[in-house]
Amino acid sequence: MKEKKIILGHGSGGRLSRELIEEIISPHLGNRELFGLNDGALLHIEENDLAFTTDSYIIDPVFFPGGDIGKLAVAGTVNDLLMVGATPKFISLSFIIEEGFSIVDLEKILVSIKKTAEAADVKIATGDTKILPRGKGDKIFINTSGIGLRITKQPLTPERVKEGDKIIVTGTLGDHSAAVMIAREGLSVNSNILSDCAELTTPLLDLFKQGYNIKCMRDPTRGGLAAVLTEIICGTEYNAKIDEREIPVRDDVLAVCEVLGLDPLYMANEGKAVIIAEAAEADKITSFLKNFPVSAEASVIGEIEKGDKQKGKVILMTVTGGERLVVLPHTEQLPRIC
């Protein structure tokens, strides 16, 4: 890594993030996958496979259309447990609050944490609160770690992805980034764009119970669909080919993207999953997901192909019929998105 100091891009979920993790963090800790591929770890304790995950939330602004940092922190950690095929059971909650932060705002956040935890049926098991002197932090940061119990028969992991598997997204892309961008920049866009921030417990636990052959699942947060597919396919003998015409994006989100020069493929989502599943079951999975409001716009957007000249790549078939390589973004379009 050529940088001597941390730069914003190291938090992007893009190529710089990967460099920091692969070249600095992982070598020291001796655990290559630690900060990388997996949303959560699967741990075998006595007779159980437990899922364990952690995330710190530093989003700016703390309140945004469609959610707040509290909802985001609980939903994000719950979703990370779901992504490894686990029923979310317990979460921890650790606050780092800047001196001067409004107690009324803290209470709003707490209300939202409680509501989200109840909806996801997770118990807040343990907590911590630290206070920073004014100017040494920014309002409030929240860490949520989570424990779940694996319920899928097989672990959900990129190793199980094979040629012919279909790629599904559970709904429209880019809503979260667009909503946060509008709120942060105070853009006077005439839109009703809300963040998609949501916990996906109900549809995904119900989906697991159906017993479909789901290979792998990821929530496309920082770095978006592009980062998630790159992580899954990178280093394999396959390519992930997605069809731009099938990728659901709201018209108003697309309009914001055009104004701001953003690409929905790279934009963060906070209530969506990318599912890789056996081809024969992809349509059934999509139909099943459409029964739930948070995944009503689920669709099959592509498939896993055998690589030829190129391997381990994400390829986009554009609306105009061309093909282009989707590369991991070097840095983040939008810092502090989660």
Site for a copy of itself in 15-44 (CB under 8 A): 17, 20-21, 24-25, 28-31, 34-35, 38, 40-41, 43
Reference 74, options 99, 60, 59, 91; nearest CA is 91
Contact window for a copy of itself (CB under 8 A) among 98-106, 187-195, 276-284, 317-325: 98-106
List the one residue from 15, 63, 119, 143 that touches a copy of itself (CB under 8 A).
143
Q: How far is the C-alpha of 96 from the C-alpha of 88, rounded, in Å?
A: 24
Q: Spell out the residues 6+ positions from residue 196 whose beta carbon is closer than 8 angstroms to its own.
A: 66, 171, 172, 175, 176, 269, 270, 271, 272, 294
List the one residue from 32, 110, 291, 296 that touches a copy of itself (CB under 8 A).
110
**Closest distance between a copy of itself and the C-beta of residue 147, in Å?**
6
List the one residue from 32, 130, 209, 324 that touches a copy of itself (CB under 8 A).
130
**Closest distance between a copy of itself and the C-beta of residue 27, in Å?**
9
**Closest distance between a copy of itself and the C-beta of residue 55, in Å?**
5
Quick check: 153 binds a copy of itself (CB under 8 A)? no
68 bridge partner residues: 63
CB 89 within 8 A of CB 51: no
Nearer to a copy of itself (CB atom), residue 15 or residue 290: 15
> Apex CA 176: angle with CA 188 and CA 85, to 5°?
175
Count of CA atoms in the C-beta half-sphere (13 A) of 287: 7
CB 128 within 8 A of CB 86: no
- String of DSSP letters for 133-191: PTTSS-SEEEEEEEEEEE-SSS---GGG--TT-EEEESS-SSHHHHHHHHHHHT-----
Quick check: 85 binds a copy of itself (CB under 8 A)? no
Contact window for a copy of itself (CB under 8 A) among 137-145, 164-172, 281-289, 307-315: 137-145
Q: How far is the C-alpha of 60 from the C-alpha of 244, rounded, in Å?
A: 30
Q: How far is the C-alpha of 196 from the C-alpha of 179, rounded, in Å?
A: 9
Quick check: 100 binds a copy of itself (CB under 8 A)? yes
Quick check: 154 binds a copy of itself (CB under 8 A)? no
42 bridge partner residues: 51
Reference 17, options 35, 34, 32; nearest CA is 35
Pairing mode, strands 274-277 and 166-169: antiparallel
Quick check: 194 binds a copy of itself (CB under 8 A)? no
Q: Total residues contacting a copy of itself (rule CB under 8 A)?
A: 83
Within positions 210 to 239, which residues make up the interface with a copy of itself, using CB under 8 A? none
Q: Is 237 helix (H, G, I), strand (E, B) or coil?
A: coil
Nearer to a copy of itself (CB atom), residue 25 or residue 234: 25
Within positions 291 to 310, which residues make up the interface with a copy of itself, using CB under 8 A? none
Contact window for a copy of itself (CB under 8 A) among 121-129, 153-161, 242-250, 265-273: 121-129
Quick check: 48 binds a copy of itself (CB under 8 A)? yes
Nearer to a copy of itself (CB atom), residue 1 or residue 319: 1
Nearer to a copy of itself (CB atom), residue 9 or residue 264: 9
Tokens for 63, please give them: 């309140």
Quick check: 63 binds a copy of itself (CB under 8 A)? no
List the one residue from 124, 183, 279, 317 that touches a copy of itself (CB under 8 A).
124
Nearer to a copy of itself (CB atom), residue 129 or residue 287: 129
Contact window for a copy of itself (CB under 8 A) among 45-53, 172-180, 212-220, 249-257: 45-53
Torsion, Cα of 11, 16, 20, 26 (10° steps): 100
